[in-house]
Amino acid sequence: MSGQRLGSGGPYEEMYGYSRVVAVGDHAWTAGCTSIVGGELVGVGDAYLQTVTALRIALASLERVGFARADVVSTRMYVVDVTTHSDAVGRAHGEVFGDVRPGAAMLGVAALIDPRMIVEVELVAARERA
C-alpha cells in the first residue's frame, strides 16, 4: 500500500521499527505520542501539560502529511492511574478538540515505557474525497 510514512527522529522509532505518522489516501494515523520534546519529558508529574504537549506533537505530525486538526475523527488517550488523572487529561483534550469533537477513548494502563510518563495519545484523521 502506498502512502507516506514519516518519523520524528525520536529514539524509539528506529529501535522499535515504526513511523510517527502514516498517511494513505484520505486517512492518517499517528503512532502513540508522549510529551518528549528534544529528548526530554515535558511536564513530569503534570498530566494536563503532558497531554497538551503530546496532542501538539501528534497534530504537528498530521500537519506534516497534509491533515488539519479539524480532520481528526478519533483520539485515544492511554493514561496511567486513570482515576487520578482523567480530569486533567480530559480537560486538556477538551481544550484542544472541543470544537472538533472527534470520537474519543480514554483507557487506563498499568504503565508506559518511561515511568514518569502519565499519558500517551494516538490520533486518526480522515477527510472527504475531493
Q: Which residue has the cell 508506559?
A: 112
- Residue 39 zone, left/alpha/beta (φ > 0; ψ -120 to 50; rest): left
Distance CA 93, CA 31 (A): 17
Neighbours of 107 (CB within 10 A): 10
**Is the separation of the CB atoms in 36 and 42 below 8 Å?**
yes
Domain ranges of the chain: 4-125
CATH annotation of 4-125: 3.30.1330.40
The answer to whether residue 41 scores a pLDDT higher than 90 is yes
Question: How confident is the model over 58-117, as pLDDT tens digits?
Answer: 999 999 999 999 999 999 999 999 999 999 999 999 999 999 999 999 999 999 999 999
Global pTM? 0.93
